[in-house]
Structure 1
Amino acid sequence: MKILLLGCGNVGANVARQLVPRHPSVEYVVADLNLEVAEKLAADLGSQVKAARADVLDPACLDALLDGVDLVFNAVGPFYRSAVPVIEAALRARVDYIDINDDHDVAEALYLDPSYQQRALEAGIRLVVGCGSTPGLSNVIARMLVDRLDSATEIHLATAVPFVPDLLSPAVVDHMMHITCGEVVQFVDGQYRKMPGWGGRLEVPYSAPFKHYPGFFIGHGETVTLPHCIPGLQQVTNRIGFIPEAGSKIWQSMIDLGLGSPEKIEALGISPLKFLTQHLSSEAGRKALSVDLSDEPWAVAMRVEVRGLRDGAEVCSVVEQHLQLPVEETDDSTADPTPTCARLFIEAYLDGRIRGQGLLAPESCVDAEAYVRAFAEETGATFIASETRVQGELFA
């Protein structure tokens, strides 16, 4: 078995750090556009790991890297640039593929175009897309709750994140602007619809120590794949908001000022988005955009709500995960749940526990209860579950 791990940034490197010691008989190649970074990671991991340079936008480079490989894991962001080129290479090479894509337009391009499923089946490979924490774990939690009902009609997801400029790396800002500017896909009244990014304001009722915070539409894969994989759904929405609300207001103002635009201003030789990513990484930017978090939890909340029927009664099932943020910078690969989520999917693949063929989503290819249980045991994560009879509108 030979696995190609593309991308040696935080997530990709930590997937490798978790995976290699657990599966020492597997042959690995870690690859990055920066060969020196890949070589350092390979040296840290041991003799069964080789390093290579990878340019995911160069088809010839990808074809050479995938030669003789059984599985490619893609952690190269932003995925709206990298996912489809690597998937096309995997199709050419007939190599199985797993990624942590978190961009809605990639999910649209793949799942709403039946040709990708057909091509993957013809190639005899699996393309498993969106296997991080959200999407990924979020989808699987939703599937778990759906499976506990007789039928499901609505799934609503929401995330609350502290507004901390130090956490807004250039890559995070690029991604966040991509999924909050312009139009984003939500599933409304049984149809995929384009909705205004950072629109659809709703007060989301998180559990203590969190409060109710406003959430806003984002473009994520869940709103594409969940209706695709789970029959009968009429509503699937996904929202995010910053803690406290002042952070969301700052983000709204940056969108309104056009700072999310990737179009270069010729007179300056830089795009508004490039300026913003650099400004938020500077001392001046961090100071100017800081907000008071003294009364807020130093944690991230992810909420999954599913509505449906059981024994003729309409119920609303909710699971929340609260993730404590590190007090100071750490190399601990469990501080961010995404590498653990991805590694669990790769291990399901290695153990023959990925179900289905062709183009797959997280909620369609693993045992949901077993996956969530494994994640909780591995990370010590706390999940808060509740279920109520629906009387009027709770969260839509």
Structure 2
Amino acid sequence: MKAVIVGGAGRVGTRIAQELSRHPHVEVRIADRIPPKDPSLAYVEVDLAEVTTLDAAMRGADVVVNTVGPFDRWGTVVLDTAIANGVNYVDVCDDPAPTAELLDRDDAARAAGVRAVVGLGMSPGLTNLLAVVATRQLGSVDLLATFWGDPGEGKSPAAAERMAASMASAFEEGRAAFQHLIIQASAEVPIWRDGERARCRAWKEAYRVTTSSGATALFRLIGHPEPATLPRAVDVRECINVGTIDAGADRLMLPVLDQVNRGEIDVSAALTLLAAQLREKPQVLATPRVGPALSVFGGAAATGERDGRRSGVVVLPGGPVDGSMSLETARPAAVGVLNIHSAELGVHAPEAAFDAEDFLKWFSDTYWDGVPGFIVDEAGPDAIVRVES
């Protein structure tokens, strides 16, 4: 198999290249403006503004993996070129607006015999498939949520100081992931509510996920593709995505996000302001512990009815997820590449491209020594509850 990784010299692209290179039948080629740090990898220079260079990079490939953001600018450029060349496609898009544009290429991809999977990372990606498993445990689903991140509740004052210093440095550096977070968290985002598409201001609503053992974590509403794609595949009354960077920091961000929303400050100023507040008052991160920590990086929770009774489940990955965003994004993408010919023709979100339980088994066979690919916790009606609005 010949795999071209567009943006393969970047953080996520590098991880995907490493994961795919572990498989001797996969030939990896990096397509980027700059060469990869690993000189053993084949490299071709591309400029996405010059589609001819991208077209040349894809020739002879079996699958292209797109890691280049922003996806609202480059996503359809790479997918359209893949379709034109009859090359299968996987990406890690986590933005709902470009996801919709990419899915609109479905007819063209089918006509070209192309299989394309959009948003195949950790969230979206693995969380979508865990969410499908969650819905299969209930007769009817009132609320389905995908979640990601570690709220870090119950930190000691010393741990809060260390975390605040680290987070402040990341904000000051203006990392792309945090810029994207500020943009998404300060805007109205798509959700599925009362059985139809809706929009809601991000970060205002907080939800607590709790397992049957009392392990718990606090998350906030954020814009992701899952609420836009999952209701196409499963019958739910409400579908949301929730996340966290830290329970204390999440709350600290609220007034700053309001300023961004009103146009009073831009994203760069917001990150600078948040960094200053974290350095001035690091103890804001020393939030109280509500119960044992739900120490997983992502999963799904659903509540509804089963056999005429209120019920709920939390579905977690079957093996370890270490919390490295780039690694946990890369691994589902790599598994999707390895199994791309099992996907449906056309352009699909992960839950429509693959059977959820099949994919999670492939994932476990690749990374978790074949343990069950998911854990279903019978958490009951309080599996996920809104606690703040």
| TM-score tier (shorter) | 0.7 to 0.9
Q: Distance in 2 between matches of 1:186 and 1:90?
A: 30
Question: Which residue of structure 2 lines up, in the alignment, with residue 76 of structure 1?
Answer: 68
Residue deviations 1:189-245 (CA, integer Å, cap 9, x gap): 1111111122233344468796452x3321101011101122x2221111223423x
* Inter-CA distance 166–362: structure 2 relative to 1 (3 Å threshold): farther
Q: Distance in 2 between matches of 1:19 and 1:238?
A: 29
Alignment of 1:227-242 (within 5 A): 227-230=231-234, 232-242=235-245
Any gaps of 5 or more consecutive residues in structure 1?
266-270, 327-333
Query: In the TM superposition, what is the alpha-carbon distance from 1:143 to its structure 2 partner?
Result: 1.3
The answer on whether the counterparts of 2:149 and 2:245 sit within 8 Å (CA) in structure 1 is yes
* Aligned residues with identical type, % of pairs: 26
The answer on whether the counterparts of 2:2 and 2:62 sit within 8 Å (CA) in structure 1 is yes
Which of the residues 347, 351, 354 maps onto 2:338?
A: 347
Query: In the TM superposition, what is the alpha-carbon distance from 1:12 to its structure 2 partner?
Result: 1.0
Q: Distance in 1 between matches of 2:170 and 2:144?
A: 28
Question: Which residue of structure 2 lines up, in the alignment, with residue 273 of structure 1?
Answer: 267
What secondary structure is seen at the aligned counterpart in 2 of 1:158? Answer: strand
Query: In the TM superposition, what is the alpha-carbon distance from 1:341 to its structure 2 partner?
Result: 1.4
Question: Which residue of structure 2 lines up, in the alignment, with residue 318 of structure 1?
Answer: 314
Query: In the TM superposition, what is the alpha-carbon distance from 1:2 to its structure 2 partner?
Result: 2.2
What secondary structure is seen at the aligned counterpart in 2 of 1:161? Answer: coil
Q: Which moved more, 1:187-196 or 1:308-317?
A: 308-317
Q: Distance in 2 between matches of 1:79 and 1:183?
A: 18
Q: Distance in 1 between matches of 2:342 and 2:90?
A: 14
Q: Give the root-mean-square deviation of aligned CA atoms.
A: 3.5
Residue deviations 1:103-157 (CA, integer Å, cap 9, x gap): 111223334x4xx221221222112001000000000111122234455453122
Which of the residues 111, 118, 121 maps onto 2:107?
A: 118
What secondary structure is seen at the aligned counterpart in 1 of 2:25? Answer: coil
Which of the residues 302, 306, 310 maps onto 2:302?
A: 306
Q: Quick check: 1:223 aligned with 2:224?
A: no
The answer on whether the counterparts of 1:170 and 1:278 sit within 8 Å (CA) in structure 2 is no
The answer on whether the counterparts of 1:197 and 1:217 sit within 8 Å (CA) in structure 2 is yes
Q: How many residues align?
A: 360
Q: Distance in 1 between matches of 2:379 and 2:214?
A: 20
Equivalent position amino acid for 1:252 in 2? L
Q: Distance in 2 between matches of 1:3 and 1:54?
A: 15
Question: Which residue of structure 1 lines up, in the alignment, with residue 205 of structure 2?
Answer: 200
Question: Which residue of structure 1 lines up, in the alignment, with residue 246 of structure 2?
Answer: 243
Q: Distance in 1 between matches of 2:272 and 2:85?
A: 38
Question: Which residue of structure 2 lines up, in the alignment, with residue 9 of structure 1?
Answer: 10
Q: Quick check: 1:177 aligned with 2:179?
A: no
Equivalent position amino acid for 1:375 in 2? F
Q: Distance in 2 between matches of 1:167 and 1:277?
A: 9
Which of the residues 342, 348, 357 maps onto 1:369?
A: 357
Q: Distance in 2 between matches of 1:311 and 1:336?
A: 40
Query: In the TM superposition, what is the alpha-carbon distance from 1:98 to its structure 2 partner?
Result: 0.3
Question: Which residue of structure 2 lines up, in the alignment, with residue 191 of structure 1?
Answer: 196
Q: Distance in 1 between matches of 2:25 and 2:362?
A: 22
What secondary structure is seen at the aligned counterpart in 1 of 2:150? Answer: strand
Q: Quick check: 1:102 aligned with 2:94?
A: yes
Which of the residues 117, 132, 145 maps onto 1:156?
A: 145
Question: Which residue of structure 2 lines up, in the alignment, with residue 89 of structure 1?
Answer: 81
What secondary structure is seen at the aligned counterpart in 2 of 1:69? Answer: coil
The answer on whether the counterparts of 1:313 and 1:389 sit within 8 Å (CA) in structure 2 is no
* Inter-CA distance 25–250: structure 2 relative to 1 (3 Å threshold): same
Equivalent position amino acid for 2:232 in 1? H
Question: Which residue of structure 2 lines up, in the alignment, with residue 395 of structure 1?
Answer: 385
What secondary structure is seen at the aligned counterpart in 1 of 2:203? Answer: coil
Question: Which residue of structure 2 lines up, in the alignment, with residue 330 of structure 1?
Answer: none
Alignment of 1:328-347 (within 5 A): 336-347=327-338
Query: In the TM superposition, what is the alpha-carbon distance from 1:91 to its structure 2 partner?
Result: 2.4
Q: Distance in 2 between matches of 1:289 and 1:383?
A: 39
* Inter-CA distance 239–65: structure 2 relative to 1 (3 Å threshold): same
What secondary structure is seen at the aligned counterpart in 2 of 1:216? Answer: strand
User: Could you say which structure has the greater relative contact order, defined with CA pairs below 8 angstroms and 6 or more residues apart?
Assistant: 2
Residue deviations 1:27-73 (CA, integer Å, cap 9, x gap): 3210222x23x2x33x1xx3xx4112233343233222223322110
The answer on whether the counterparts of 2:216 and 2:294 sit within 8 Å (CA) in structure 1 is no
Q: Distance in 2 between matches of 1:258 and 1:89?
A: 36
Q: Which moved more, 1:310-319 or 1:199-208?
A: 199-208
The answer on whether the counterparts of 1:78 and 1:175 sit within 8 Å (CA) in structure 2 is no
| TM-score between both structures, scaled by the size of structure 1 | 0.78
Equivalent position amino acid for 1:119 in 2? A
| TM-score between both structures, scaled by the size of structure 2 | 0.79
The answer on whether the counterparts of 1:30 and 1:50 sit within 8 Å (CA) in structure 2 is yes
Any gaps of 5 or more consecutive residues in structure 2?
152-162
The answer on whether the counterparts of 1:259 and 1:272 sit within 8 Å (CA) in structure 2 is no
Q: Distance in 2 between matches of 1:289 and 1:68?
A: 55
Query: In the TM superposition, what is the alpha-carbon distance from 1:384 to its structure 2 partner?
Result: 5.6
Q: Distance in 1 between matches of 2:217 and 2:358?
A: 31
Which of the residues 345, 352, 359 maps onto 2:347?
A: 359
Q: Quick check: 1:147 aligned with 2:136?
A: yes
What secondary structure is seen at the aligned counterpart in 1 of 2:64? Answer: strand
Equivalent position amino acid for 2:257 in 1? I
Question: Which residue of structure 2 lines up, in the alignment, with residue 50 of structure 1?
Answer: 42
Equivalent position amino acid for 1:344 in 2? V
